[in-house]
Each structure stands twice: as structure tokens, then as C-alpha cells.
Chains A and B, each alone.
Chain A
Amino acid sequence: MIEIMKLRIALAQINPHLGDVPRNLQKHLSLIETAKSQGADLVVFPELSLTGYVLQDLVSTVALAPQKEDAIFGQLLEASQSIDLAVGFVEEDSRHRFFIAAAYLSGGEVVHIHHKLYLPTYGLFDEGRFFAWGDSISAFDTRFGRVGMLICEDFWHASPPYLLWLDGADLFLFMSASPGRGLSAALKLESARWVEQLVQAYANLFTAFVVHANRVGYEDGLHFWGGSAAFDPDGVLLAQAPYFDEGVTVAELDLHQLHRTRARLPLLRDERTALVQRELDRILKRASQANR
């Protein structure tokens, strides 16, 4: 049983400079200070918050190694002595593969690194051309309980949140750089409506806290819509940042809500994982035979 029952999460809706990591570090440190002044325990930044999104040939020049010796991460790890951080960056691994990555930092340590699993390479997206695909997923323990981190397209697929749920995540941190698109007469852009519905649906489906940090700003003709949000295990919106504006929005999570919701609605208790595995095995076996 975890001790902290109220968790104040700051959604840091940043507008990064494209490819300028030192300037973006300064923005991070400044938003972290703002979050601290508002009593936050954890700051969540969006996807690629340290680098900007449409990096193309900048990828290899902005890549970092998330360790104390790194000039950028050294300062973030220092900042994590007083407040937990989730940041987005490009990771270059020891064999020089480049990943879209998210790091969870706490108490001066790197607690967890997630590599983006699904790289959209269609329409306006071209991530698969520039990045390596992440190939593993796990939840991790924090002082607020067990957490799962995903990056943008990861949660457009149902399986990564589901796996994190089974791996014990009660708090999901979703980090996006979601370009606005699909203007019609409707109140919201199609991309905003789509993502907001997804994020809220996971809170409902998994009776868990789901937090979404999305960036703002422009890169050439693309704009990013912001609207970062936090939902509780009943799927109730706890806080939402404005659309399009940079800034920090704090959501207070009452972690007791997990107890109350799951006492009423035992979806996790009733989840039939053995059935899922058995049927998935059968389905994949049949698919592989059909492909022969």
C-alpha cells in the first residue's frame, strides 16, 4: 500500500524550439519551477519535449544518453531531486540506434525509459524513416504507485495500455506531439476529439488514472493543439489545459479513488488474462498457418 494519497501532477504544455536542446532544457527548468511553486509532485512533459517533433535529419544531432554524465540529463536529474519528472527526448543507444523516448526521473535517478513502440509512417507522419522501433513495454514503480508511460501512437493501439494495465499500472502517463488536423464545423479539430476520446476511454476501461500531456506551438505549417488533460478512474475529467497555449496545468489526483471505483466496478479483478493468452495463441497460430 502506498503512503501518498494525494498526487499533484503538473501537465507541462511546452512549445519546444525545433532541434535546440539547450534552449529547451531551460524551458523545462523554468516550467519545473512553475510546477513546484504550484505544489506539484510530478511534472509530465509531452513527446520529444527536449527536441521538438519534426526532426528529420536533426535526429542524430539532438540524441542524448539518459545518464548523469550527460550535460542535459545531468541537470534534469538534479531537478528530479525535488520533483518527479517525465520528459520526452531522442535516445541514442549503445549501438547508435535512435528512439523516440520518454524518461521517468526521480530522486536523481533514471527510474524508467520507454521507447516508442508504434512509429506512425503514413499521411503527414514519417517517424519510421528516422527512428528505430521500441520493442518492449513494462510498468514501473514510483513513490505514487505503479506507472505506465506511452508515447502518442502507442495508445492509438489498444494493446500497449492493456499490457501496462496487466503489468500493474494504475497511473498512465501519455505523452504526445499531436498535430491538429481535420477542421470542420465541429467544436473541436478531429484529431483533438479523437485523442481526447481515446484517453478518456482508457480511464474508463482500466478504472485507472490517465494523464495526457500534449504540446503546443507550430513547426512550419503544423500546429499542435495542447489541451492536456487528466482523468480519474471513473473517467471523470479532473483538469484540462487550454488549447494552443503554453503553460502548466495542475491536476490533483486522489489515489483513494482507485479503491472506491474498483470496489464498485471490478473490471481488473474479472479480467480473464488466461483466456486472452489462450485465444491469442490460437489466433496467431492460425494466422501464421494461413500465411504459409
Chain B
Amino acid sequence: MAKIDLSINTELARTILSGFIRSEIQRVGYHHAVIGLSGGLDSALSCFLAAEALGPENVLAVCMPYRSSSPESLAHAQLVIEALGVQSVTIPITEMVDPLIGRDPQMSAVRRGNIMARARMIVLYDQSEVFKGLVVGTGNKTEILLGYTTLYGDSACALNPIGDLYKTQVRQLARAMGVPQPILTKAPTADLWQGQTDEGELGFTYAEVDQLLYLLVDQRYSPQDCVEAGFAADFVQKVVERVRRNHFKRVLPPIAKLTNRTVGYDFLYLRDWGT
């Protein structure tokens, strides 16, 4: 297979992304950021970027463990908080979600995971009001394209600095910015149940899928072109279908058009309108 180089100029990425956070928060009159810090790589990088953009004292890291969350996750989140000197608060979600989960003893892991992700969203947006800060997102390009995210859960944010970086690029930038070593090297996990890993759940590695997505999306290869470039046909098919099927998570809900001017179709403004 041809070598696909996903490496990035980390200095340039750092300048552009920290400038983005500063601009998009300050232009609407805010000075603070709120970030859900899981102990994983993506939220660690977002937190590093936000601290650089706004100053650590203007960043609130929110840790939201559930009773089954790995203690290691919380410890890793603490490493980020201490490395940066950002403000922090820990708000466990167990007491919020257990009554709902307890209503159905048969509840699937997916349902439980979605409830936890959405409970965390509620906590974050509540802290956003307390701290007078905007919620900075932590979703990367790989998970956005694959739809490996909970709609209105972990995907909910006011702005997302890392959504155009594949997971392997997130790791490269995180390393360059000094994210603590244990976070760089551990297996990515949503930590919704013990032993869960992203790659185990997805059925392929980030290294593989990032290269395939780069060809499909960035380089506009057809699926057939990707097979000819050396990817297994069933893997290509599975990823192509997954990207298509999850597109609903990447767009606002369609509004049924009745009038001559309808939000989403012909009422077109950037969010930065007037700022």
C-alpha cells in the first residue's frame, strides 16, 4: 500500500486553532471556556489549546465521572489540570443517571452510554452559565465522520477546535503541545464500561481508518480507488456506509420548507454575523 502521510505542521495548527478559540469566544463577548475533561486525548488537547488561547485561569475543566468510570481516567484528567493550571471542578453524574438507568434492568450498553454522554452535556452547559464561558468541543475528524459520538451528548459544543484533525493528527499535535505521556500512549476509550476501547468497538484501528478517510474525504478517492490503493474491499465498504449512515449527526435537523424564506435553505448567515 502507498504510504499516506498524515503528519502536520504542529506549530501552524497550534497558532490557527488557539487563534480560532480566542476569536470565536471573545467576539461574542465572552472570555472563558468550559471543557469536559475525560482523561482522554481529545479533551486533553482541546484543554491545552483553550489554555493557550485564553490563559489557564480562564478555562474551566469539568470532570464528570460515573461510578463505573476508570479511576485512571480521573487521574489522567488531573494530570492535565495540573500541567496547565486551569480551573477545575468534579461533578459526578452517577446520581443523575442511575434513576433513569434503573427504570430498565434490560437497558443496553449503548443506551446507558448515550444517557451518560447526554447527562455530561447538561452538566457542561450548566457550568457554562455558572462560569460565563462557552463550551469548547472535543470531537475529532475521525469520530465526526464515522458518527462515533452521541448526538446532543459529547458532540454538543459552542465551537470545536479539533474537528478537522484525524485522531492520529490529534495525537501528533497533543505530543507537540506537551500533553502528559500516559494520555498519549493509552488506548482511546469512551470509558462507558470496563475494558471498552474505541478500536475494539469500531473493529479497526485509527491508524488504518484515518488513512482511508484521508483518501476518501480529503483526496476525493472513489471507494474503488481506495481498494486499488491497497485497502480491503469490505473495510472500505463498511467505512463508506458508516460515514453515509451517520451524516444526520453532522447537520442540523431539516426544516420543512413552506415559505419563501426558510432557516437552513435561504436564510443564510454565518454565526459570526455582525461581530
Contacts and interface: CB of A to CB of B under 8 A. Distances in A.
A218 B268 contact: no
Contact of A183 (B13, B19, B270): B13
A17 B19 contact: no
Nearest to A20: B274
Interface stretch (A36-44, A156-164, A219-227): A219-227
B7 interface: yes
Contacts of A151: none
Given A18-B274, A56-B268, A189-B12, A221 B7 contact: no
Nearest to A180: B16
A242 B202 CA distance: 43
Interface string B152-179: 0000000000001000000000000000
B168 to A, nearest CB: 13
Nearest to B20: A218
B113 to A, nearest CB: 28
A47 B105 CA distance: 62
Interface string A212-252: 00000111110100000000000000000001100000000
Secondary structure dominating the interface of B: loop
Contacts of A219: 270, 272
Contacts of B8: 183-185
Interface in B15-37: 15-16, 19-20, 23-24, 27
A54 interface: yes
Interface residues of A, number: 24
A58 B23 contact: no
Contact of B275 (A17, A58, A183, A188): A17
Given A185-B7, A186-B9, A244-B19, A18 B267 contact: no
Contacts of B275: 17-18, 20
A19 interface: yes
Contacts of B103: none
B270 A187 contact: no
Contacts of A54: 270
Q: Shortest 10 CB-CB distances between A and B: which pairs? A: A56-B268, A218-B23, A185-B7, A220-B270, A57-B268, A18-B272, A54-B270, A219-B272, A183-B8, A19-B274
Interface of B: 5, 7-9, 12-13, 15-16, 19-20, 23-24, 27, 164, 266-275
30 contacts: A17-B274, A17-B275, A18-B272, A19-B274, A54-B270, A56-B268, A56-B269, A57-B266, A57-B267, A57-B268, A57-B269, A183-B12, A184-B5, A184-B8, A185-B5, A185-B8, A186-B9, A188-B12, A217-B23, A218-B20, A218-B24, A220-B24, A220-B270, A220-B271, A220-B272, A223-B19, A223-B20, A243-B15, A244-B15, A244-B16
Interface of A: 17-20, 54, 56-58, 180, 183-189, 217-221, 223, 243-244
Given A183-B13, A243-B15, 18 more contacts: A18-B272, A18-B274, A19-B273, A19-B274, A20-B275, A56-B270, A180-B16, A183-B9, A184-B5, A184-B9, A185-B5, A186-B9, A188-B12, A218-B24, A219-B270, A220-B271, A220-B272, A223-B16
